[in-house]
Every structure is written in structure tokens, then in C-alpha cells.
Amino acid sequence: MRLAVDLAHANRLQGGRPFGAVLALGDEVIATGVNNIIASHDPSAHAEMEAIRAGTQKRANPSLAGLSIYASGHPCPMCLAALVMNGAEQVFFAFDNNDAAPYGMSSEGTYQRLRLSLTPPPLPITRIDTGIRPEQLYGDAAWPYPETD
């Protein structure tokens, strides 16, 4: 989970949006992705979608069966639909829409406009506390760990 959040932080420092994702098979990292919509001008280039694209190409298999995604933020409806449609096993995330909302990064409005309920969730979705606060990823609070290259 920490890798996804670190990717999000690094992407923000490079001028991107603060979202990162890791596609995994058990403890093995299959692929990673960051939100690339600013640089690519592609509105579908969310971190989860980038990790899915890289992972399925690497495996030469479009199925996500048995794979889990670790996302810095709760997946939006597009990303969640891609995960469900292609058989992902489960989703883990660090920050929810309430954490992201004060920074304009929530997808809750999209869920509401589409009238999508996550009760019950379409697959196991679990929040993991990384010890990093929302203002450290989305806002101006100091990052709690030394910067690395």
C-alpha cells in the first residue's frame, strides 16, 4: 500500500495528480501506474487504469483474475468497473473520497451522478491506514518520510 501512496506523492511532485496504483499477485508487484491525465491529455489515464494496462500487457492476458489493486485513493467508477469487469480479486486503498474532497480529488460526485451504490461493494474493498495524513498527500503538509530519488 505504501508503494501506491509513494507513487502518488512522487507524481504530484512532478506536476501530476496525486494518485498511484499497484497491481499485485499476492506479494508480487505485477505493474504500477500513476495518474497521467495531465501529461497525456487522456481522461482515462487514471493510476489504476495505467497499472491495469501495464500489467495485462506484461502478462499478455487481459484477465485480472487473482490480482489485487492497491490504490492511493478510492477508485472512481471507471476504474472500479474495469476491475470488476475483468475479474480482479480485491481492492485496497489508502484515502477515501471524504479525505480527497477538500482538495477537489473526490469521485463521490460521479458515483452520485451515476446513481451507483457501493453497498454492498461489487468486490472486496478495504481501506488500509498508511500513517500518512490526507493533507500530506493532497495538501501542503510536510511529507513524513525523507525524499528519495
User: For residue 92, what pLDDT is reported?
Assistant: 99
| Averaged pLDDT for residues 87-111 | 97
Is 98 inside any structural domain?
yes
147, pLDDT greater than 90:
no
Summarize the confidence of residues 45-70 as an average pLDDT: 98
Q: Look at residue 143 and tell me if it is in a domain.
A: no
Whether 57 is in a domain gets the answer: yes
User: Could you tell me if residue 144 is inside a domain?
Assistant: no
48 assigned to active site: yes
Residue 2 backbone dihedrals phi, psi, to 5 degrees: -60, -35
pLDDT at 66: 97
Nearest-CA neighbor of 95 among 124, 138, 141? 138
**Alpha carbons 35 and 89: distance in angstroms, whole number:** 22
**Domain-located, residue 6:** yes
Percent of the chain at pLDDT exceeding 90: 96
pLDDT single digits (tens) 2-31: 999 999 999 999 999 999 999 999 999 999
Backbone angles phi, psi at 42, to 5 degrees: -110, 110
Q: How many domains does the chain have?
A: 1
pLDDT of 38 above 70? yes
Domain membership flag for residue 19:
yes
Tell which residue, 36, 33, 118, has the closest CA to residue 84. 118
Domain containing residue 80: CATH number:
3.40.140.10
Evaluate if residue 148 carries a pLDDT over 70: no
Indicate which residue of 48, 89, 108, 147 is catalytic: 48
Domain encompassing residue 38 = 1-138
Let me know if residue 148 belongs to a domain.
no
Distance (Å) of CA 24 to CA 2, 37, 56, 116, 129: 13, 23, 11, 26, 18
The cell for 120 is 454492498
**pTM (2 d.p.):** 0.95
Per the prediction, the chain carries an average pLDDT of 96
- Going by pLDDT thresholds of 50, 70 and 90, the confidence category of residue 149 is low
The reply to whether 95 falls in a domain is yes
